[in-house]
């Protein structure tokens, strides 16, 4: 369905006065805070305003009735952590940036009816799902927790929605890895407020064929590189991807051609053709092992890696992660796509995706999140951190 708030809009979110005040005043209402965070436009590269406001909110939280927070900053990434001396540490992370606006600001609180909705209240607007609802969940919980049963690190980072080289979490992982140290990490990516453990890795390669160029009227004088690519496609079509169990979750792998390029002109036999292939591999394999598999799979052809990212084990075999699952009372599922949990896994920190919002609405013009889901996820995270 298309989420159209035009008919029944309860309220519109418009920033007023000091932005830190604007956010701080909503720390007792996660849905309200979600809308207010959305109202502060923060397309990737324009996070400074929202980062400054969130940093000030965290400073005020630190001065409140809960535990003090050590607040650290790297450009537009903020880390706030307790130092209570507990034996274990939880990291809760979320990104502050969004994809570009698409006529979906200012955000609104509205009702949706139809399909999967029964007159449900939602927060509608850019970032509501991906992932300012997750950020609101973290901030409200940070303000509400009085006696966490473990030390907690809160991370709010920039540039997640653009090139990986700009990612704030990745930047901090390289320059200040100790800021992200912990025993278990929760990434607030939208997951329908369910637990999606770890993630598949991903690698893209170009598989190329070569031939001999000739006039198409005398095709017998050349060697058609596009025809030669038929063998590449045959191997892909006949391959049956497997399912790999990791920490009790079944990760379905996939191997697909995602584009094919070649050809010179309508009357020329082409001498070059490239098939781009994407392999989503279970987190039991490293990216280097995935590359080795592809080179063997496409033996006889030229293979060039164009992009690769490691997968992440969910760590659900660890007691600290199982405690999270037990608290929520949910059955975890594998994350088949790639998320920043991989960056935690590379640091030796098992991680899961847990956040309000249906990922199918992420980046869409009708992006939204259910109010009930935002409230439940926040309550669940709070219960976990205080052992209630």
Q: Which residues are catalytic?
A: 97, 160
Beta strands 272-281 and 268-269 are unpaired
Instruction: Collect all residues with Cβ–Cβ distance below 8 Å to 160 and sequence separation of at least 6.
Output: 44, 95, 97, 167, 168, 169, 340
> In this structure, how many other beta carbons lie within 10 angstroms of the beta carbon of residue 121?
16
Please say whether the beta carbons of 180 and 73 come within 8 A: no
Burial label for 111, CB within 10 Å (0-12, 13-18, 19+), is middle
Measured distance CA(217)–CA(46) in Å, rounded: 55
């Amino acid at each position: 369905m298309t989420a159209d708030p035009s008919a029944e809009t309860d309220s519109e979110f418009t920033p007023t006065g000091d932005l830190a005040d604007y956010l701080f005043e909503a720390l007792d209402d996660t849905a309200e805070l979600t809308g207010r965070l959305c109202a502060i436009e923060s397309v990737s590269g324009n996070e400074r305003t929202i980062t400054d406001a969130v940093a000030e909110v965290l400073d005020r939280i630190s001065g409140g009735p809960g535990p003090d927070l050590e607040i650290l900053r790297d450009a537009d990434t903020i880390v706030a952590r307790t130092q209570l001396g507990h034996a274990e540490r939880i990291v809760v992370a979320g990104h502050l940036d969004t994809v570009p606006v698409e006529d979906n600001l200012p955000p609104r609180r509205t009702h949706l009816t139809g399909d999967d909705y029964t007159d449900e209240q939602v927060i509608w607007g850019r970032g509501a799902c991906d992932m300012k609802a997750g950020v609101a969940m973290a901030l409200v919980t940070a303000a509400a927790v009085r006696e966490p049963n473990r030390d907690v690190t809160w991370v709010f980072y920039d540039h997640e929605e653009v090139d990986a080289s700009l990612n704030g979490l990745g930047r901090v992982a390289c320059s200040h890895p100790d800021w992200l140290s912990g025993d278990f990490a929760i990434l607030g990516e939208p997951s329908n407020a369910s637990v999606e453990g770890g993630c598949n890795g991903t690698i893209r390669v170009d598989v190329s064929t070569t031939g001999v160029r000739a006039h198409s009227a005398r095709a017998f004088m050349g060697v058609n590189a596009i025809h030669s690519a038929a063998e590449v496609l045959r191997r892909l079509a006949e391959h049956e991807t497997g399912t790999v169990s990791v920490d009790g979750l079944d990760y379905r792998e996939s191997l697909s051609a995602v584009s094919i390029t070649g050809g010179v002109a309508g009357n020329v036999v082409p001498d070059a053709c490239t098939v781009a292939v994407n392999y989503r591999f279970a987190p039991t394999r490293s990216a280097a092992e995935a590359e080795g598999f592809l080179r063997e799979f496409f033996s006889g052809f030229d293979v060039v890696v164009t992009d690769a990212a490691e997968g992440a084990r969910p760590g659900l075999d660890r007691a600290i992660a199982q405690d999270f699952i037990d608290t929520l009372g949910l059955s975890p599922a594998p994350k088949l796509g790639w998320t920043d949990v991989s960056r935690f896994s590379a640091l030796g920190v098992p991680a899961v995706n847990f956040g309000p919002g249906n990922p199918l609405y992420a980046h869409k013009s009708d992006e939204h999140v259910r109010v009930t889901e935002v409230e439940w996820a926040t309550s669940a995270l709070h219960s976990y951190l205080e052992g209630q």
